[in-house]
Amino acid sequence: MTIPVPKRGDQLLFIGILTLTATVISLLFYALLWKGGNLTDLPHLRLGFYNFCLWDEGSGSLHCYQFPELEKLGVSQIAMGLARLGVYGALVLTLFVPLPLVLAWCKSNRGEWQLAVGFLAVASVLLAGGLGCFLTCVWKWVSLCLLGSGFLALSIAQVLLLLLLMATAVFPQKALKDKNKPESWSCLKA
């Protein structure tokens, strides 16, 4: 048995979904652009999707490694490339989510809503895969307590992406079925 949700409740749920989407985008921007993809940024260790710097006792400073040297340390170039593709791909796909959501809401179109759900599903898989690849590559140099705010932001974004995916997968059954009126662009009217 389902309980009918009032129209205001549908609007609040939709606004909540858009707010959650904006939060995920903000977290991904913070971790990947503002922090430069660095998940550990300490004076003696900087590990990120584009930085791999370890403390060098001989020179008394950070030494940043590039890929010929990284492969000697056991870091796979393919795995790091997949990690980058995953996390930055998740950011790009999440940027495409708000437009189909708004269009689906305004036009009561399930196809556009399902497109947004697809973007969210792929972004969630990419983010989880990218973080997993990265952590697999660097686990011998970093522990969970050394991971910084960039990692925390990506982890929270992953949890919120899963929550957003569940909300958008359930939402159209409740709200879009009642909006099959000829005035499909009613959300744009004042």
- In DSSP notation, 24-86 reads HHHHHHIIIIISTTEEEEETTEEEESS-EEEEETTTTEEEE--HHHHHHHT--HHHHHHHHHH
Whether residue 102 is contained in a domain is answered as yes
Spell out the residues 6+ positions from residue 28 whose beta carbon is closer than 8 angstroms to its own.
87, 90, 91, 94, 127, 153, 154, 157
pLDDT in tens, the chain (190 residues): 454 444 677 788 889 999 999 999 999 999 999 998 888 888 888 888 888 888 878 777 888 888 888 888 888 889 899 999 999 999 999 999 999 999 888 888 888 889 999 999 999 999 999 999 999 888 888 877 788 899 999 999 999 999 999 999 887 655 555 555 444 445 555 4
Q: The pTM is what? A: 0.82
Strand partners, 54: 45, 63
Q: Token pair for residue 121?
A: 């599903």
What is the model's pLDDT at position 111?
A: 87
Q: Give, in order, the Cα–Cα distances in Å from 29 to each of 1, 61, 147.
A: 41, 29, 18
Q: Over 111-155, what HEC string results?
A: HHHHHHHHHHHHHHHHHHHHHHHHHHHHCCCCCHHHCCHHHHHHH
Whether residue 88 is contained in a domain is answered as yes
Whether residue 63 is contained in a domain is answered as no
Instruction: Please state the domain count of the chain.
Output: 1
Whether residue 160 is contained in a domain is answered as yes
**In which domain, by residue range, is 120 found?**
7-37+74-177
Whether residue 108 is contained in a domain is answered as yes
Whether residue 60 is contained in a domain is answered as no
Whether residue 52 is contained in a domain is answered as no
What is the model's pLDDT at position 4?
A: 47
Whether residue 171 is contained in a domain is answered as yes
What is the model's pLDDT at position 163?
A: 95
What is the model's pLDDT at position 184?
A: 45
What is the model's pLDDT at position 187?
A: 59
3-state secondary structure of 1: coil
What is the model's pLDDT at position 159?
A: 97
What is the model's pLDDT at position 129?
A: 96
27 vs 86: CA distance, rounded Å? 15
40 vs 50: CA distance, rounded Å? 12
State the number of CA atoms in the 13 A half-sphere of 137 facing the CB: 27
What is the model's pLDDT at position 185?
A: 46
